[in-house]
Chain A
Amino acid sequence: MGASQVTAISCERVTKTYRHGFLQKKTKPALNDLSFSVNSGEVLGIIGPNGAGKSTIIKSIMGFIKPDQGNITINGIHSSNLESHAHIGYLSETPCLYKTLSLKDHLQFAARLAKLSKKETNKKIEEVIAKVDLPEAAHLPIGRYSKGMTQRAALAYALLLNPQILILDEPMSGLDPLGRSLVVDIIHEYNKRGNTILFCSHILSDVERICTRIGIMHEGRLATITSPTELNNMPELKNDKTTHLETLFLKTVKGTL
């Protein structure tokens, strides 16, 4: 088995129904018998309309949400086992950093959790701060950052320990074209080193640019999964007004595929 065939993330028949309302009697299905896997070294992008279950599956992989049924493994370790988190970098939809603390405080926290030496900590912090281009702002509280800077700071926090797997939930949201280009470059560079990336986004052009495989989620299922090459070889998706991916996305969501 080649290195690229090793499964980094595996989701098998994952089901999740949210309960809400008085006595949690109302239900809203979020994931419906969802199965997919991400091979080591690939970039899988998940797209889908709002409420399709993109964030739910990412949060389930991260262990923030407990699926009702199914099995999720990361590098062969069950997602409920914290060992599986040691190799993951995560960036959430809304940057999840403390506004009163600086980027450096956050990075130091992550380094201390990983029990890095002081020398190693400083080296890694300097590297990652330079990578996201925030050297002057690293000492400032996150509350003083612009949205784009906060997103880059959150990316630095995810990348600090050079995780084998990067899970990104809407990494481009709120970024200007420059910021987006920086993030795309980081993802490309990161993937070139053989790391795995799973990310979901609303921006189809970014997904097309970055991913080696693209999945379209609809009503809690992965309705389609394809690669950009396969996508471009589908003549039925040719359309003057939309790209191949946009056509595929619209057809999948409308159920006309």
Chain B
Amino acid sequence: MNTIIQVAALCYKESLRHKILYGVFTLSFTLMFFSLFISGLFMRDILKIILDICLSAITIGGLLVPFFMAINVVAADINQKTIYSILSRPVPRYSFIIGKFLGLTYLSFTIMGILTGMTLLTLWVASFLFQSHFLQTLSIPTVVMAIVMKTVAIMVLNSVALLWSIVTTSSFLATLLTVSTFLIGQTIEDVVRFISIEHVGVTFSPIINITTKVCLYLFPNLSAFNFNQHAAYGLPIPWLEILFSSLYGFTYISSILLLTVFFFNKRDLT
């Protein structure tokens, strides 16, 4: 356990010093700041506009970790040989993977925490700028819960990015595969729903049906963690839905990490 904690702490410390973090924070803060002005241009749905922009900014900030950090922490470790500094010590390979994943998780928590704080600050400023009836549907617990579930989605993507960076030998390919996983994960539920609806005069070939079903089981269904609409309209999120989505997320993460450890144990670190 000590080895996992130490690898996680090292990964967190190292990731925090990447300059890319500052760029994304600046972009996210700017978006949130401008959401106050942009929302003023709309006569209605001011809260929805603010929350849409803030939650998008949080998504951008959160996706930084799987798209840039998660791939780099392992692929760059292998390419730049920094992995030797850890594995030359009595650190099992599974500790390396789980430690890296936990380090990235701490980093995601930090980023999401700061951006959540900024969102709440934006909402607080909005309460002074706009009349109270524009913000009457605001439910802070729902907003926070939507962000928490977004964090689970980011954790899922972190685990997937780790898997791709172990399976492939190029960080470009790993990035491409992670982005593809994200895009498939975002849309697969809609595609399956669309195919399952009976369309007059249209029949889908069995290959399409099978392919989408396989994708649904293989790729993470990221729509399961998307509660943006609930947050934007202040709708309560059913606890059972949160429970099942979280269970799905953590089961998926565990399976992916197991696979990653399996492949990593087989890999030669030349």
Contact = CB atoms under 8 A, between A and B. Distances in A.
B88 to A, nearest CB: 4
A113 B84 contact: no
A113 B90 CA distance: 8
Contact of B270 (A18, A88, A94, A112): A18
Nearest to B169: A20
Interface in B63-108: 80-85, 87-92
Contacts of A124: none
A105 B88 contact: no
B167 interface: no
A82 B91 contact: yes
B85 A106 contact: yes
Contacts of A257: none
A59 B270 contact: yes
Contacts of A203: none
B18 interface: yes
Most B Cβ at <10 Å: residue of A56, A62, A109, A141 = A109
A97 B82 contact: yes
A112 B90 contact: no
Interface size class of A (residues with CB under 8 A): 35 or more
B90 A83 contact: yes
A100 interface: yes
Contact of B82 (A88, A93, A96, A141): A96
A100 B16 CA distance: 9
Nearest to A157: B85
Contacts of A88: 88
Interface stretch (B6-14, B236-244, B254-262): B6-14
A101 B17 contact: yes
Given A82-B92, A113-B3, A97 B269 contact: no
Given A62-B84, A97-B85, A115-B2, A86 B268 contact: no
A212 B82 CA distance: 30
A61 B90 CA distance: 13
A98 B85 contact: yes
A100 B6 contact: no
A101 B16 CA distance: 10
Interface in A195-250: none
A100 B88 contact: no
Contacts of B87: 62-64
A253 interface: no
Interface string A78-109: 00001101101110111011101100011001
A65 interface: yes
B88 A98 contact: no
Most A Cβ at <10 Å: residue of B82, B85, B92 = B85
A110 interface: yes
A154 B37 CA distance: 52
Contacts of B269: 59, 64-65
A101 B88 contact: no
Interface in B9-63: 9-10, 13-14, 17-18
A188 interface: no
Interface in A51-75: 56, 59, 62-66
A129 to B, nearest CB: 17
A109 B6 contact: yes
Most B Cβ at <10 Å: residue of A83, A93, A100, A115 = A100
Given A64-B269, A65-B268, A113 B82 contact: no
Contacts of B13: 101, 105
Contacts of B90: 82-83, 85-86, 113
A173 B89 CA distance: 23
Interface string A105-123: 1100110111100000000
Contact of B268 (A64, A115, A157): A64
Given A62-B88, A64-B270, 9 more contacts: A56-B270, A90-B84, A94-B81, A98-B14, A98-B82, A109-B6, A109-B10, A112-B6, A113-B90
14 contacts: A62-B87, A64-B84, A64-B87, A64-B268, A82-B90, A83-B90, A90-B88, A96-B81, A96-B84, A101-B17, A109-B6, A112-B6, A113-B89, A113-B90
Interface of B: 2-3, 6, 9-10, 13-14, 17-18, 80-85, 87-92, 268-270
Q: Which 8 A-B pairs have the closest CB atoms?
A: A90-B88, A100-B17, A64-B269, A96-B84, A82-B90, A85-B90, A96-B81, A96-B85
